[in-house]
Amino acid sequence: MKPRRTVAAIAAVAAVSVFAAGCGRSGGGELGAEDAPATEAASAAAGDFGSLKDVCGSGDAKTASAQGVTASEINVGVFSDVGFTKNSEFDDAAKVFTSWCNDAGGINGRKIVYNLRDTKMLEVRQRMIEACRDDFAIVGGGAALDSGGVEERLKCLLPDIPAQTSMVDNIGSDLQIDAIGAGHSYARYVGYYKWLITEAHPDSAGAIGFISGDSPVTKTIGAQNVEGMKAVGGTVVYDDLYPAVGVSDWTPYAQAIKSKGVKGLVFLGDFRSLAKLEQVLKSIDYKLDWIDANSNAYGSSFQELGGDAVAFQNNYADLSGVAPLEAKDDIPALEQVEELYKKYAPKADITFPALRAFSSWLLFAKSAQECGDDLTRKCLYDTAREQTDWTAGGLQADVDISETDAPIKCFDVVQLKADGWEIADFKPDTDDLYRCDAPEIKFTGDYGKPLTLASVGKSLSDFQ
């Protein structure tokens, strides 16, 4: 039996564990009036999205082909911790996507009905049991303590196309597809790290520091990233944890960073804590060559909290091959997302996790559409796995989803300036947005493994 945890401890886990998925708010703010008209991009060619054709549309589906599927509807679960975090980004993304898709005719005429599975942080297993009872698949969401539901999901053979994954048991588990192609056995940020220490700031390579939130989720990610940094030539001179419940005074950490001569700092945790740390670093007049604020800090909130202290440092974030919002004028798919939000959720932020959720929703819808009337879980999963150059219509660098465990090859970097985030000068080589020369670094440390069908007494032969 697992020990009980206090609400404060769980809140702390939530605060630091969002790094597992590279979460971050885009800071887009309110996008328009409730009655904002749809533009040509939002209503383009019925169910087309970006470069994807016929994602959604009318049809003549007639059968109840699987659990959660009738002749007129497809029931889909969306996991979220919104009842605890009050962050509605996965709910917003689901509302926007399904509203657009249903207005375009649904999937072969079937309307998508999404069921928000609010875990309230502590109720992942309970929500998964409900999803196993009612849903056809799980799409476009995530939960900080997601390992609590993976065993139930595999027992009921429920496919999952998440926007984020957090814990080792769940990342790369069976019947799960990550739309950005991140394999669980490989270091995710080594292309970015290599760029930081060999090109952008080569003098920093011998003096790297790490600070991670002291939670099971972030400690594991921190250890993995230390291994990745060392693999690309970085020397780690400082590696520390901060209490997940928060720090009242960041001065000892700032002084330790200074005394160790840290030139490049990787921060794994809540951007609110990083903002406070950077305020202290400025107060002692210590400027590093760079700080990896991670995509958790990607948005206006980090800058607003940190003030001139964050402008004092060189803050970067790697978006793992997802298109930066700053490139929307050059990417029709990003422009279309913005127009859809204006129409269907004008008061919602377009966040980085929301873009990942859109990729998941698009992969689900396109695959389900190709299955036609005979829409089964196996057809959905197998069809999605056949995608060898998935770009979500232009929202991300292309990935080969047919590889179940492969490294992220492409990365893109944003940098925080006085006027906000902008695309960094990282010498992209693909579509002038991405750089796809990341080394393949497979973990050698023992960090645990994702659950498999075999671990719950099932096999692919049971999957229908």
**Beta strand 160-161 with 264-268: parallel, antiparallel or unpaired?**
unpaired
Q: Which residues contact 180 (CB under 8 A, 6 or more apart)?
A: 320, 321, 322, 356, 359, 396, 399, 408
Structural domains in the chain (count)? 2
Instruction: Let me know whether 312 and 338 are in one domain.
Output: no
pLDDT at 216 (0 to 100): 83
In angstroms, the CA 191 to CA 413 distance is: 10
Residue 443 within any structural domain of the chain = no
Instruction: Let me know whether 54 and 166 are in one domain.
Output: yes
Q: How far apart are the first and last CA of the chain?
A: 33
pLDDT at 431 (0 to 100): 74
316 to each of 283, 329, 403, how far by Cα in Å?
21, 22, 29
Residue with structure tokens 């300036």? 417
Instruction: Let me know whether 181 and 35 are in one domain.
Output: yes
Instruction: Let me know whether 77 and 99 are in one domain.
Output: yes
pLDDT at 13 (0 to 100): 54
In angstroms, the CA 459 to CA 154 distance is: 10
Query: In the chain, what is the greatest distance between 2 CA atoms, to the nearest angstrom?
Result: 70
Residues with pLDDT less than 50, the chain: 1-12, 17, 19-44
Q: pLDDT for 153-206, tens place per residue?
A: 999 999 999 999 999 999 999 999 999 988 999 999 999 999 999 999 999 999
pLDDT at 217 (0 to 100): 84
Q: Work out the angle at residue 263's Cα, subtended by the Cα atoms of residues 260 and 265, and round it to the nearest 5 degrees.
A: 90
Residue 430 within any structural domain of the chain = no
Residue 441 within any structural domain of the chain = no
- Return the bridge partners of 416, or none: 421
DSSP state of 69: B
pLDDT at 5 (0 to 100): 39
In angstroms, the CA 80 to CA 142 distance is: 5
Instruction: Let me know whether 227 and 160 are in one domain.
Output: no
Residue 437 within any structural domain of the chain = no
Q: Is the pTM of this model over 0.85?
A: yes
Instruction: Let me know whether 413 and 401 are in one domain.
Output: no
Instruction: Let me know whether 136 and 97 are in one domain.
Output: yes
Instruction: Let me know whether 113 and 170 are in one domain.
Output: yes
Instruction: Let me know whether 211 and 290 are in one domain.
Output: yes
* Domain that residue 396 falls in: 31-185+324-406
Q: Which residues contact 299 (CB under 8 A, 6 or more apart)?
A: 24, 25, 26, 27, 349, 351, 352, 421
pLDDT at 45 (0 to 100): 63
Residue 401 within any structural domain of the chain = yes
Residue 374 within any structural domain of the chain = yes
In angstroms, the CA 173 to CA 456 distance is: 12
In angstroms, the CA 18 to CA 144 distance is: 6
Instruction: Let me know whether 67 and 131 are in one domain.
Output: yes
Instruction: Let me know whether 198 and 142 are in one domain.
Output: no
In angstroms, the CA 105 to CA 103 distance is: 5
Q: Return the CATH number at 200.
A: 3.40.50.2300
Instruction: Let me know whether 148 and 224 are in one domain.
Output: no
Q: Do the beta carbons of residue 353 and residue 47 sit within 8 Å? A: no
234 to each of 185, 206, 249, 255, how far by Cα in Å?
20, 6, 29, 22
SS3 content of the chain, % helix, strand, coil (to 5): 40, 15, 45
